[in-house]
Structure 1
Amino acid sequence: MESNLINKDEEVIRRSKTEIVLKLLEYLKPYKLKSFIVILLMIIVMICGIINPLLLEIAIDNYVVNKNVEGLMIIGAALVIINLIAWILSKIRWTMITSVTNNILVNIRHQLYSHIQTLSFDFFDSRPVGKILARVVGDVNALKNLFSQSIQSFIPQLLNLVCVAVIMFILNFKLALACTILLPILGIAMFYIEIHSRRRWEVYRNKRSNLNGFTHEDFSGIKVVQGFAREKETEKNFKAMVKELGDAFIKAVKLNDFFWPLVELSWGAGTLVVFFVGYKLITNNEIKIGTLIAFLMYVGMFWRPIMNLSNFYNTLITNFSAADRIFDILDVKPVIKNSKNAKNIGKIHGTVEFKNVSFSYDDNTEVLKNVSFKVNKGERIALVGPTGAGKSTIISLLSRFYDPTSGEILIDGKNIKYVDLESLRSQMGIMLQDTFLFSTTIMENIRYGRLDASDEEVIAAAKAVNAHDFIMKLEKGYHTEVNERGSRLSLGQRQLVSFARALLANPRILILDEATSNIDTETEKLVQSGIEKLLYSRTSFVVAHRLSTIRDCDKIMVIDNGRIAELGNHDELIRKKGIYYDLYMTQYKFLNE
């Protein structure tokens, strides 16, 4: 799917009705037995309903006319028992339908969530998070009525319609023909509505997704909004998007509202036709009054399932767009995934090699150009260079967030393209400039590095990177809630927590991508010894603009315009008086000033 902005409608593949229905029915397979029981109960209830008019016909034509009180009592008792059974079975049916529907929605949401977690970064790069949330929450919820009605309406109501129609034609062919004469006109009208209605619901769901994306982005950046006093502007945009959503909904609902009047109009007209034909038949002594009354009851029983089926069809049309949006994501294949014969990489020792690696995010611009280098076990490598030179791309390729356009990346001599992703990434520690903390305690945020770690191990990791002292000064120490994205802590404190998390994970390859850029000078002094312990005996890649932090690295690679422009340690590169020398002297001069 193409990249989407907040206010741009998403381009979703429209699937055929048959394809969507077949895909949705797949989710009913685990509940085949329950669905069968529900349908069976509905058939029994349906039969109970069909028997009612027949018993009434017998009561009128045989017992009322002959004043047979005993026979009427028996018929009355039979009606009470039959309807009581139908009521009890209906209650059981509704309980089972609710259970099945909720379980299916849970399964779809779990499947969607699990699938999204497997998708590559390009999927998230091209979509606002709010639009993804709209599909996981809102679009899945939209399927609830679809599943409940598919179980309770489609098959049972179709059977009910067929059975009633057969009985009507058995009772009297002319009356049955009169009742069904308007069905073709109704079918044509509904088909016309469906063509235009589905498109309108697609527009509505796109507008709702846009609003969701805008709201999520606005609240995530609320500090920027308030910092620049842009509340009025964002409120104006919000109102405009809400209006678009409301207009799209009203436009869709207006067309859908024609379903019910059409069916009711056909029902009423059909009943009038039956009355007229029935009157003629009675005056000609072709039928008895009891037969007409019974038939009129069957007219209601004939049109009621048509009404329910129309409602189901209406629900289908309303939610086809939601199903399309869900399957649109489920059909996205992760670009980065395990190869067919992927093997566990085993314990990583830490030798890393790039062989003629080139990479581009699109077909136009090459970010890396034929990059080759080798890093031995335990070495510390610094990547420096101007913004956009390709430093972070090298890190992303090493972590296999992307695959190179050409060339190979080897760890311990194994091409990472053919190893199990989890076995690779579980032994790598990645620390980014924008440290992400979860909305939980400091203890749990550090423990995220190794979920089975004890409290003592968590505290030991925090002490090692000099985070323990500031944590203990907080109101609840390690049990302090850090709020969303760690907003309760300073930038430097978040970095210290992330250092502890990485140390606890004990990665074999460690990546620090501008990880110390947000730490002030005072905090940097505290954490420097912790970083030394973090880097000890691990192959480490350090991306840094602050060159003073990488002087002790074994190798420094200067990346410029997608290539390795210079390679050596600090002293060697200073003596060369090339790009690194210029960068270093510029920073040195700036700091002195």
Structure 2
Amino acid sequence: MDIFKQFIGYYKPHKFLLFTDLFCALIVSVIDLAFPQILNYLTKTLFTQDAPAILHALPFIGIALVAMYVIKYFCQYFIISWGHVMGARMENAMRNDLFDHYQRLSFSYYDKNNTGEMMSKLVSDLFDISELAHHGPENLFISALKILGSFILLMLINSKMTLILLIVTIIMVLYTVHNNIKMAPIFTDNRVKIATVNSSVQDSLSGIRVVKSFANEDVEREKFRQSNQGYLVSKIRTYKTMGKFFAWDSFFEGLLYVVVIVSGGLFIARGSLKITDLAIYVLYINIFINPIDVLINFTEQFQKGYAGFKRFVEVLETQPDISDKPAAKPLTKVFGDIEYKDVSFRYNDDYNVLNHVSLSIKAGKTVALVGPSGGGKTTLCSLLPRFYDVTSGSITIDGKDIRDITLKSLRNAIGIVQQDVYLFDGSIKKNIAYGKMDATDAEIIEAAKNANIHEFIMSLEEGYDTYVGERGVRLSGGQKQRLSIARVFLKNPPILILDEATSALDNESELYIQKSLEKLSINRTTIVIAHRLSTIKNSDEIIVVTDEGIQERGSHRKLIEKNGIYAHYYNMQFEGLELMPT
């Protein structure tokens, strides 16, 4: 019932359309129910008179009937067109709510869920919900009116025969309800299986360059065939169940006609039913059966929409792991003093990645984190903008616990340059402007100059309006990295995180980018994660982080003199460079 309440809530902004749609449905139902009564009345009155009287009345009757069906035409038009518009608007609102909630969900949700499955909930599930939103109230309302109206009129013609029909109808309804309950998990399985297909497609197409570089097209085809076959098996199971369902209902409908003929013949033989009344009775039987057909056909639509809305609600009810406290305040006048106080962290129920780490970084200083992969360097940085929350301990900026600061202001104060650069589909200008959405052209150009990318951009035929391709595929790694740096220059944050920003670049690109990063780091509190130790020699402090925590800390010179872990790593890289061919 809770799911139905949430579903009905989406009708509230569209009450006028809903009630107008139902009013039109009422008019259509009344007209359909009126026709047999009109025919019955004319048969017993007008058509028993002489020819002149019939001919005199026919034009007026014809005009009245045409007027009645003109009204039905406009009502039917409203139901079909504006009824669907209402469903589309509800779908639009649901899609906005779902996308907004996706934006609020924490990194941990995206760690566990596939993009293709999320897309399936955003597109195909909501289409089924839209169809249910439109056809649901309308079908139920029209069908209820026609069934009730025709039943009353059938009772007036012959109550005994109608009660016999009612017994068959009740058996038919019980069977339908029973099958609905059985079909619910099947349609839910359909939604899960098509989400798996979408997931497979998204995964393969996103990594198409890797697929082709390893010549693994056949592997991807087989993976897709398996998920596609799983969906086919689920659909076959659905259609077999539906086949039995509709076949039985068709049998019950036939049984209704058998009851009418047998009982009608019996009552005519006894003189309690006229032949003309039997003809009218059959007309009403058609009106009685038609809405039952509609409801039976509506079953598939209802189950699809219900399964989709259930999945939709499950996402909306997923609470973000990271959110603002009710009393959270914005971070203002940021100096950049950062302190990690006895911080421990683990992902889900895994072992601790960080154990009782304490670290202080003064405003405007540059601190480099080095050490083996898996030691917790990136995790340490991810905790600062609250991509994840500490398991124990606390992190402060300018003495304020980051959990007491609003997320928006916290993340606005931190700029991040990562090794894996993400560029959005669009122009170079739009990608740089992502750092400050209201930036002027002059500010964008200044940011590009600071990132040493302006001259390259101007060498392109369309300059700043050049299309970068999906994920920036038309640019080199170094060019994408410099655009991401320009984006952070534009943001102008007081705190900077550089997460292995040069590790995947060639020497020439690294030189350009290192100059840009040095310029970017001026007067900012900067945390650098680096594997190339030559790039961090001038850091104010270098901290060696392993899976056992902080092992060493100090300046480059002091750590070399100490001849410990850092010196070992540095000498390995230095010797490697010496051995490289010239």
Relative to the length of structure 1, the TM-score reads 0.94
- The answer (yes or no) to whether the contact 2:128–2:301 under 8 Å persists in 1 is no
Identity across the alignment (%): 35
Contact 2:423 2:431 in 1 (8 A): yes
What's 1:172 paired with? 158
Task: Supply the AA of the counterpart residue of 2:90.
Answer: I
C-alpha deviation, 1:534, in angstroms: 0.5
Structure 2 distance, partners of 1:93, 1:138, is: 23
Counterpart Cα distance in 1 of 2:134 and 2:502: 54
Counterpart in 1 of 2:405? 419
Q: Which residue pairs with 2:38 in the alignment?
A: 55
Task: For 1:10-49, list aligned pairs within 5 A.
Answer: 18-49=1-32
Secondary structure of 2:280's partner?
A: helix
Alignment root-mean-square deviation, CA = 1.7
**Post-superposition shift, 1:550?**
0.7
Whole-Å separation in 2 of the counterparts to 1:508 and 1:500: 15
Which SS does the other structure have where 2:352 is aligned?
Answer: coil
Q: Which moved more, 1:256-265 or 1:21-30?
A: 256-265
- Asked if structure 2 preserves the Cα contact closer than 8 Å seen for 1:158 and 1:309, the reply is no
Residues 198-226 of structure 1: CA distance to partner in whole angstroms, max 9, x if unpaired?
A: 22222222221111111111111112211
The residue number in structure 1 matching 2:214 is 228
| Larger displacement relative to structure 2 (73-82 or 19-28) | 73-82
- Taking the aligned partners of 1:88 and 1:24, their CA distance within structure 2 comes to 28
2: CA distance, partners of 1:478 / 1:89? 53
1:481 equivalenced with 2:472 (yes/no):
no
Alpha-carbon deviation of 1:562? 4.7
Q: Provide structure 2 residue ranges, at least 5 long, that are not aligned to the other structure.
A: none
1:250 is matched with which residue? 236
The equivalent of 2:386 in structure 1 is 400
Give the structure-2-normalised TM-score.
0.95
Q: 2:505 aligns with which of 519, 523, 526?
A: 519
Q: Which residue of 2 aligns with 1:7?
A: none
Please show how residues 263-342 of structure 1 align to structure 2 within 5 Å: 263-342=249-328
Q: Displacement of 1:64 after TM fit?
A: 1.9
SS at match of 1:439: coil
Q: 8 Å contact 2:129–2:304 — kept in the other structure?
A: no
| 2:362 aligned partner, one-letter code | N
Q: How far apart are 1:71 and its partner, in Å?
A: 4.8
Q: What pairs with 1:348-497 in structure 2 (closer than 5 Å)?
A: 348-497=334-483
Q: Give 1:187 deviation, angstroms.
A: 2.3
- What is the aligned residue count? 576
Q: Which moved more, 1:105-114 or 1:237-246?
A: 237-246
Query: Using the alignment, how far apart are the partners of 2:167 and 2:203 within structure 1?
Result: 56
Q: C-alpha distance in 2, partners of 1:20/1:164? A: 32
| Aligned-partner residue type, residue 420 of structure 1 | T
Counterpart Cα distance in 1 of 2:40 and 2:250: 26
Alpha-carbon distance, 1:151 to partner: 2.7
C-alpha change, 1:244 and 1:446, in structure 2 (3 Å) is same
The answer to whether the aligner puts 1:507 opposite 2:493 as a matched pair is yes
Which residue number in structure 1 is paired with residue 559 of structure 2? 573
Residues in 2 aligned to 1:278 and 1:293: alpha-carbon distance in whole angstroms: 10
Tell me by how many angstroms 1:44 deviates: 1.4
One of 537, 540, 551 as aligned partner of 1:554: 540
Shift in Å, 1:527: 2.8
Of 556-565 and 348-357, deviating more is: 556-565
Aligned to 2:571: 585
CA contact 1:131–1:209 (8 Å) conserved in 2: yes
Aligned to 1:153: 139
State how far apart, in whole Å, the 2-side matches of 1:55 and 1:74 are: 13
Aligned equivalents of 1:196, 1:313: Cα separation in 2: 12
Of the structure 1 ranges 335-344 and 192-201, higher mean CA displacement relative to structure 2 is found in: 192-201
3-state SS, counterpart of residue 182 of structure 1? helix
Instruction: Name the structure 2 match of 1:125.
Output: 111
The answer to whether the 8 A contact 1:259-1:314 is kept is no
Instruction: Say yes or no: does 1:78 pair with 2:61.
Output: no
Q: Give the drift of 1:114.
A: 0.8
